[in-house]
Amino acid sequence: MPPLLDIEDLEVSFDVRGETIHAVDTVSLTVGEGEVVGLVGESGCGKSVTTLSVLRLLPRRTGRITGGAIRFGDDGIDLLALPEKEMNRIRGAKISMVFQEPMTALNPVLTCASQLDEVYRLHRGWKGATARAASIDLLAEVGIADPVATRRSYPHQLSGGMRQRVLLAMALACRPRLLIADEPTTALDATIQARILSLLSDVQRRHRMALLLISHDLGVVGALADRVAVMYAGEIVEEGPVSDVLVTPRHPYTRALLRALPVPGAGGGGMEPIEGNVPDGKAAGAMCRFAPRCTVARSECFRGHPVLLGRPGGGLCRCIPGVMNGDRR
C-alpha cells in the first residue's frame, strides 16, 4: 500500500523583488496511514513552506512550486496537479491544518459557533441543529468543559489554549486522514502546551489519523512522533525512526540541535546555541550547506554536495559517510 502522503522531490521558490529564494529544495517525505512524523529544524529552514505546499496555500503572488509531486490517498493522486475546486474538497476534509497562532487564527468578528458550523455546512452539507449537535460533541471531544457557552463566544473572550482547542475542533470536524500541525503549541505557555500536546496525541490515536507535526522542539517530537525528519537550509539532512535519530543522531546538525536543547534539571544549562545562520541552500553551490557551521567539517565537505544515504538503524542521512561514522557525540 502506498503511503498516505508522499512528497517527492518538492522544490519551492519565492520571487521577492526580482530575487529568487530557494526555500525548499528536492524534499522527499512520506507519512503513512496513522503515522506521526515530526519535522524539525531551525527557523527559516523551510518547514512551513513544505507543509503549506501540501495544501497549496503558498502566497499566490510570490511563492511557486517549481518541481516535484505530492501524492495523497489510496490512489495516490498528485495534489499539485489537481484543479483548485477539487483541492478545496480535500482541504479541511481529508487534510487539515492547525497553525501556530491561536490568537489570530480565528475570525475576530464571528462566534465560534458560526465558524465551526461553517465547516460542516461546507463539507458535509449539515445545517442548523445537526451541525450544532455535531460541533458540541466535537468541542467536548477536544476537552472543552462547557461547549454550549464556548460556541457562543467570540474568539477574544477565550484564552489561547481554548482557542487552540476550538481550532483543533474545526480541523478535526470532518475526520481528516491527515492533520498537519505547524508549531501548534509554540505560542502557548508551558502547562497549556503540555495539555494541548497530549490532546493532540489522544485524538491522533483514537482516530488513527496521520499527523505531520512541525516543531523546533525536539522534546515534543520525541514524545509524539514515530519518525522524524530534520531539515536544514531547505533540504532534509537526516530522517528515520525517532528512537534512532534522536538517540543516536548521525548528522552533525541533528547533534547540534540536540545539544541546543535544555537539559532537564540543569537549570537552563546544557544549551549550546548553534553558531551562524541558515543560508539560502541552493546559493551555496556544490558543498555541504551546513559546512560553514559544522564543527567536524573537513575540506571535502566544501567540495561536494553530500547526498542522502542510508543510515545505520534505518532512515537517511546527508553527510559524507566517513565523517558521520566516526566522531560520536
Ligand X SMILES: Nc1ncnc2c1ncn2[C@@H]1O[C@H](COP(=O)(O)OP(=O)(O)OP(=O)(O)O)[C@@H](O)[C@H]1O
**Contacting residues toward ligand X, per CB under 6 A:** 14, 16, 21, 23, 41, 43-49, 59, 62, 216
* Smallest gap from residue 59 Cβ to ligand X (A): 5
**CA-CA distance, 22 to 116, in Å (whole number)?**
37
By a kind-dependent CB cut-off of 5 to 8 A, residue 306 interacts, out of ligand SF4, Mg ion, ligand X, none, with ligand SF4
* Smallest gap from residue 99 Cβ to Mg ion (A): 9
**Residues lying near ligand SF4 in the complex (CB under 6 A):** 252, 288, 290-291, 294, 296-297, 301, 306, 319-320, 323
* Smallest gap from residue 192 Cβ to other proteins (A): 18
Contacts by residues 54-59 (CB-CB < 8 Å, ≥ 24 positions apart)? 54/5, 54/7, 54/79, 54/95, 54/180, 54/212, 55/79, 55/87, 55/90, 55/91, 55/95, 55/97, 55/180, 56/80, 56/84, 56/87, 57/97, 58/12, 59/14
* Smallest gap from residue 18 Cβ to other proteins (A): 18
Measured between alpha carbons, how far is residue 103 from residues 100, 115, 277 in Å? 9, 15, 29
What's 232-277 look like in SS3? ECCEEEEEEEHHHHCCCCCCHHHHHHHHCCCCCCCCCCCCCCCCCC
Q: What's the distance, CA 161 to chain centroid?
A: 19
By a kind-dependent CB cut-off of 5 to 8 A, residue 144 interacts, out of ligand SF4, ligand X, Mg ion, none, with none
By a kind-dependent CB cut-off of 5 to 8 A, residue 48 interacts, out of other proteins, ligand SF4, Mg ion, none, with Mg ion
Cβ proximity to ligand SF4, 92 vs 315, nearer residue: 315
- Give the DSSP letter of residue 306: P
Cell numbers at 197, concatenated:
500536546
* Smallest gap from residue 320 Cβ to other proteins (A): 39
**CA-CA distance, 214 to 189, in Å (whole number)?**
17
Cβ proximity to ligand SF4, 252 vs 315, nearer residue: 252
* Orientation angle between helical segments 128-141 and 112-124, nearest 10 degrees: 110
**CA-CA distance, 82 to 54, in Å (whole number)?**
12
Cβ proximity to Mg ion, 40 vs 131, nearer residue: 40
Cα dihedral angle (287, 289, 295, 299), rounded to 10 degrees?
A: 0
* Smallest gap from residue 110 Cβ to other proteins (A): 7
- Indicate which single residue of 12, 13, 42, 48 sits in contact with Mg ion (rule: CB under 5 A): 48
3-state secondary structure of 24: strand
3-state secondary structure of 28: strand
Cβ proximity to Mg ion, 48 vs 254, nearer residue: 48
Cβ proximity to ligand X, 15 vs 202, nearer residue: 15
Cβ proximity to Mg ion, 13 vs 48, nearer residue: 48
> Which H or E run contains 324?
helix 321-325
Cβ proximity to other proteins, 110 vs 148, nearer residue: 110
By a kind-dependent CB cut-off of 5 to 8 A, residue 23 interacts, out of other proteins, Mg ion, ligand X, none, with ligand X
Cβ proximity to Mg ion, 48 vs 135, nearer residue: 48
* Smallest gap from residue 116 Cβ to ligand SF4 (A): 46
Q: Which of residues 300-319 bind Mg ion (CB under 5 A)?
A: none
* Smallest gap from residue 61 Cβ to ligand X (A): 9
Contact 234, 282 (CB under 8 A): yes
Q: Give residues in contact with Mg ion (CB under 5 A).
A: 48
